[in-house]
Structure 1
């Protein structure tokens, strides 16, 4: 086997299932708008990781080695975007009184992972740890893409449903703003951890 599929699947499940900027965004979106309204966003988040996997599999890592400054800049720009999302989450409220509010759509979800440093670290780790020397780029990339997508299709909806369940118990109560501040704080903490502690 040119790709260690079972260890890769365990690694992927542990990474996709744990808190990070994308999962915090899913949790907050489910809490604010409900599971059904959040589904286009969930689909975009799941498919957005493919926008990173395939370029990495076909040589983006060589560019990273030749222009490390570019990727450092990308890392911090990505962190700034995630923190901006967190600020928006902190100011959202779960009630339906704001008739103009709409759940983020597919396109908004699509860019979450390309701007998520945890996703980059996870994908690079998948290629470096679970792909045998001499494996074709197509086989390695397709296998990693399929395993990560399967984990996302299972776990991203669960995070979104969790947000909806939380919202049902706190919407309109005094706890509501504190929930949103907590979600925003967890989002910021997760991205800062990835930036400065090297987490995946």
Structure 2
């Protein structure tokens, strides 16, 4: 168990710090509330778990063998995050038409182009895989632990969004919030591109 404490800390840090997933969850929580954001939360956790498992089982070796593939994925992920930022910034601000929320499948699939998720998965596969377990058992263990730690962390971001959503009663405040969240997501995308 002592050997796993650094892994727990790493998962807590990666799930709890700002990133594309958490910025989207704040925006969704603010516009739709926690309950209606829950499918996106579950999608993010499921997508991360599947990605971590696949990376631990050997997908990360492809990125080592073909660095150009990793660069293409990073560029594609950045472009997709910029599209999401544009969608949020351009979304209507009237109360009867809030921005479209991410579905379970969209949130899960987003992990495939989310650079922070790839960094997380590759680091887990290369640093935290338990040597005493078989490859599938170790991959399943770290994927499950990552999802268990990730769920409350990303939930806090959605709850934060839901709490500040009450302050967004006027169209002008909603517009300002959408633009700030979109700019934050775009900035994150550009920072991850470096």
- Quick check: TM above 0.5? yes
| Native 8 Å contact 2:129 2:139 kept in 1 | no
Q: After alignment, is 6-15 or 55-64 more displaced?
A: 55-64
Secondary structure at 1:49 match in 2: helix
Runs of 4 or more above 4 Å deviation: 132-135
Please list the CA deviations of residues 70-115 of structure 1 after superposition, one character each: whole Å capped at 9, or x if unmatched: 221111011111111111111235653228x653221111112121
- 1:35-55, CA deviations, whole angstroms, 9 ceiling, x for partnerless residues? 111111221111111231122
Paired with 1:195 and 1:134, the residues of 2 have a C-alpha distance of 36
Q: 2:43 corresponds to which residue? A: 44
Structure 1 residues not aligned, in runs of 5+:
none
Q: Distance in 2 between matches of 1:65 and 1:17?
A: 27
Map 1:95-174; keep pairs closer than 5 Å: 95-98=94-97, 102-131=100-129, 136-172=134-170, 174=172
Query: Matches of 2:94 and 2:163 in 1, distance apart?
Result: 14
SS in 1 for 2:166: helix
Alignment partners' CA distance in 1, 2:155 and 2:17: 13
Match of 2:184 in 1: 186
- Distance in 2 (alpha carbons) for counterparts of 1:91 and 1:165: 23
Q: Deviations over 1:124-150 (max 9, x none)?
A: 112222235575322331222012101
Give a deviation string over 1:169-189, Cα, whole Å, max 9, x none: 123153321211111111122
Point out the structure with the larger helix share. Answer: 2
In the alignment, what sits opposite 1:74? 73
- TM-score, normalised by the number of residues in structure 1: 0.87
Q: Secondary structure at the match of 1:169?
A: coil
Query: CA RMSD of the aligned region, Å?
Result: 2.1
Q: Which residue of 1 aligns with 2:82?
A: 83
What 5-or-longer segments of structure 2 have no aligned partner?
Answer: none
CA distance in 2, matches of 1:177, 1:105: 22
Post-superposition shift, 1:163?
0.9
Output the TM-score relative to the length of structure 2.
Answer: 0.90
Q: Could you tell me how far apart the structure 2 residues matched to 1:107 and 1:127 are? A: 24
